[in-house]
Amino acid sequence: MISTNQLKNGNHIEVDGTIFKVVEFQHVKPGKGPAFVRTKLRRSSDGNVIDKTFRAGEKFRAVRTEVRKMQYLYSDENDAHFMDVESFEQQAIPAVALKESLQWTKASDMVDLLSIDGVPADIQLPSAVDLEVTETEPGLRGDTASGGGTKPAVLETGARINVPLFVNIGDKVRVDTRSGDYVSRA
């Protein structure tokens, strides 16, 4: 069992028979009344995020998680397909649950496939990835790093982010996978 006092971002817990990943949590001790924990939880089955409040000290069943190195092959309209590079065994995960993670993943990338209670459920991403810009407005003379301002860009995976004015098509950029923000040129 895991208590609300032991929650950490990234933990998996079972609440009312459904498995959730803890996205954010905050312990609150009001001046009057009992303490409570305010959380944002992502449902592992479909990726929906909900806000839920628990009493301090409430306990949940801890969920057994396992990480395995797999190669991302491709996505079709229903599933994302992965392959174990040692046994060549392939696994499919519903693409709806991985929508957010897949926008930062290229075909043939090695990823950490997370299994929850033996069932593949999610992929763990590094905090930042390097991707190539495939569409953006051309940079103009005088657009510099200190100039400020951003413009929309499309990356090689199809993700849309805002980049500084000096970034051009073909440039590699580093993107924070947690927030989707531009970090630097790669």
Same domain, 179 and 140: yes
What's 117's domain CATH number? 2.40.50.140
List average pLDDT for each run of 10 residues in the chain, which is 186 residues long. 82 85 88 89 81 88 84 88 89 81 87 82 84 84 63 89 86 88 86
Question: Which residue segment(s) compose the domain that 88 sits in?
Answer: 65-124
Question: How many C-beta atoms surround the C-beta of residue 22 within 10 A?
Answer: 18
Tell me, what's the pLDDT at 10? 79
| Residues 12 and 49 reside in one and the same domain | yes
Contact indicator for 72, 82 with CB cutoff of 8 Å: yes
Residues 146 and 106 in one domain: no
Q: Rounded to whole angstroms, what are the CA distances from 162 to 31, 82, 143, 169?
A: 42, 29, 15, 13
Write down the residue that tokens 């580093």 correspond to.
174
pLDDT value, residue 143: 55
Domain tally, the chain: 3
Q: Are residues 42 and 69 in the same domain?
A: no
pLDDT (0 to 100) of residue 65: 82
Report CA torsion sign: 10, 154, 140, 149. negative
